[in-house]
Chain A
Amino acid sequence: MSAYQGDFLKEVEARVEEGEWVKMCMQCGVCAGSCPFGPHWEHSPQKIFMMIRAGKREEVLTSDAMWMCTSCYNCVVRCPRKLPITQIMHGLATYAHRLGLAPKMQPTRRFSVTFWSNLTRTGRVNELKLVLQVYFRNGFAAGLKEFWNMRRVGLRLLAAKRMNPFELVFPHRCKDAKGIQRMLAKACEIENRKRGFSQ
């Protein structure tokens, strides 16, 4: 990390997915004005890119801004410089998360972590488990309440055979779960090497 001391832009270019694009931003403001979530962000993409150049490392990485991106790609299709803005937002979020700087309670971050561990275990998303994990994320009482609120939807899913309670005990797996895990581990290893992470 010391290699980038005082140069957050260089750090982003080297370690964040699509980070080398940040310097191409000409601060026109089109992405900021195009984002449907615009008014709800702490910082728009335009502002984030300027903050990176201004070396505001803490403020960028601890911000919840990039977690607000819904991947609508409105900014990407309009950006006159064709920056892959959506990808950079996700790249920044991942980077902040890896450094442990991302806001712990940010809902998108929490969901992403849950989703990832759910998916990688069997090579398939176990939707029932995922839903329960999400419902009960804020404690047992809150989970029960949410469960109760959604009971009609749940029953209908059951009736339509779109949800199977046995999945909790005998989860669906892909044919070669171990193989998938090995592939993911290899991908992580390559990624770490490329971005200079020590696992």
Chain B
Amino acid sequence: MRDIATSQTILVVGGGVSGMTAALEAAECGKQVLLVEKSPTLGGRTALLYRYFPKLCHPTCGLEINLRRLKGNRNVRVMTMAEVVRVEGRRGDYSVTLRVAPRFVNENCTACGACAEAVGAEIPNPWNYNLNRMKAAYLPHAMAYPQRYVLDASIAGTPDAEKARTACKYGAIDLEMKEQTLTVSAGAVVWATGWKPYDAAKIQPYGYGRYANVITSVEFERLADPHGPTGGRIVRPSDGKEAKNIAFIQCAGSRDENHLRHCSRICCMASLKHTQFVREAYGEAARSTIYYIDIRAIDRFEDFYRKVRADRTVKFVKSKPARIAEDRASGDVVLHGVDTEGYHRYAAQHDLAVLAIGMETAVPLPQDAEVFPAGCAADALDVNRSVQSSTAAALRAIQVVNRAARAES
């Protein structure tokens, strides 16, 4: 399969907004691009946001534009369910190993969903950060690209798989598919493998994993989303009660020598945005409190911060809470700490605590080969800055393949 890519090809690893951008920028300059994504769909974590700051638009807009560009460009070849496991070589001459997982569904799929109806088994739904379960034959989410179902490997060889196969009118279910390992060549590699939320359970005093009503900001995005586990109702996990009085705790895992040293940059803006989700849901009855060390709403985001500051449903407490306890009777969370503005001690009760979780790189950069990091694989960035970073990475990659082309001719 070496022929799908040559030393003229730019390999982009990761199909989030960063990878898509890098791939498109290079392809629109006439370069051959192979875009490789580990999961069954492009879009990455941006697709799992309810709305994005600063304009509070739905991620659909941004992703849809990119998907349209992608469909209209013959220079990009997309592979999903393909994980890059190894990169070797040097500028102009890389050899990359891919592990391609079986989807068990071929191009005939029309995304009608008959297979999902036929299948009985359910698995945790990673597209909702495992907050609910989904059928073991699924489409990741409404924006999924390609719009093609996946049969989860856990039902391969079970009667459920057979049921799915017979239910499909288009002959799209192919149970013979196997995992494959491929090696491809590339002239330059853009590394856009993105980020992952820091493991909240490691922040012991905050009780994530011990108290049902302590959740992370990425989970909160899913709660607010109509496609999420609660159909967009902001309710708390313990008892389904409406969560109107919510504590947002900043720097959960970031700026902390015991966890991540860096400022994740996004989480202040994410929490500011989240207060507006609460307001949207509950109007004047909403009660959001942001517990912070200092608010980092950089450059033009300052306007958004001002706007939220002026919102009467939002309160700001300058303090990093020392710990969270649970009120057994009500299931409420109780935050303990001291307020830096006046050094008042507080024990504040809330319906729900949302940890503004830190971001860390999802996959370390390859050790033995030079690649161009893009987006959140390079640093904790918002979508806008990820796109800028990816365009820069694409430009560097283009220079490398141009040089390789000149050397060959």
Contact = CB atoms under 8 A, between A and B. Distances in A.
A56 interface: no
Contacts of B293: 26-28
B251 A46 contact: no
Interface string A23-53: 0001111111110001100011011000000
A81 interface: yes
A33 B343 contact: no
A82 B258 contact: yes
Interface of B: 205, 251, 255-259, 293, 318-323, 336-340, 343, 345
A30 B337 contact: yes
Given A33-B345, A44-B343, A82 B257 contact: yes
Contacts of B319: 28-29, 33
B251 A29 contact: no
A29 B205 contact: no
B321 to A, nearest CB: 7
Q: Which interface residue of B259, B338, B340 has the most chain A CB atoms within 10 A? A: B338
Given A34-B322, A46-B343, A47-B343, A29 B338 contact: yes
B320 A28 contact: yes
Contact of A29 (B256, B257, B340): B340
The 9 closest A-B pairs by CB, nearest first: A33-B322, A32-B338, A33-B337, A80-B256, A28-B320, A82-B257, A34-B322, A29-B319, A29-B338
Contacts of A78: 205, 258, 322
Given A44-B343, A46-B343, A30 B255 contact: no
Given A33-B345, A46-B343, A80 B338 contact: no
Contacts of A34: 205, 322-323
Contacts of A33: 319, 321-323, 336-338, 345
Interface residues of A, number: 21
B338 A38 contact: yes
A33 B339 CA distance: 9
Interface of A: 26-34, 38-39, 43-44, 46-47, 77-82
A85 to B, nearest CB: 13
A32 to B, nearest CB: 4
7 contacts: A26-B293, A29-B338, A32-B337, A32-B338, A32-B345, A33-B336, A80-B251
Given A80-B251, A80-B258, A82-B257, A39 B340 contact: no
Nearest to A39: B345
A1 to B, nearest CB: 29
Contacts of B338: 29, 32-33, 38, 44, 46
Contacts of B251: 28, 80
Nearest to A43: B343
Nearest to A46: B338
B345 A38 contact: yes
Contacts of A82: 257-258
A78 B320 CA distance: 11
Contacts of B318: 29
Contacts of A79: 257
A33 to B, nearest CB: 3
Contacts of A26: 255, 293
A39 B322 CA distance: 14
Given A26-B293, A28-B319, A29-B319, A80 B343 contact: no
Contacts of B340: 27-29, 46
Given A26-B293, A44-B338, A32 B257 contact: no
A30 B320 contact: yes
A60 to B, nearest CB: 14
Contacts of B339: 29
A39 B337 CA distance: 11
Contacts of A80: 251, 255-259, 320
Nearest to B343: A47
Given A80-B255, A80-B258, A30 B343 contact: no
B259 to A, nearest CB: 8
A34 B205 CA distance: 10
Contacts of B256: 80
A3 to B, nearest CB: 31
B208 to A, nearest CB: 15
Given A33-B336, A82-B257, 9 more contacts: A29-B322, A31-B322, A38-B345, A44-B338, A46-B343, A47-B343, A78-B205, A80-B257, A80-B320
Contacts of B337: 29-30, 32-33
A29 B345 CA distance: 10
Contacts of A28: 251, 293, 319-320, 340
Most B Cβ at <10 Å: residue of A27, A28, A77: A28
Contacts of A38: 338, 345
A79 B255 CA distance: 11
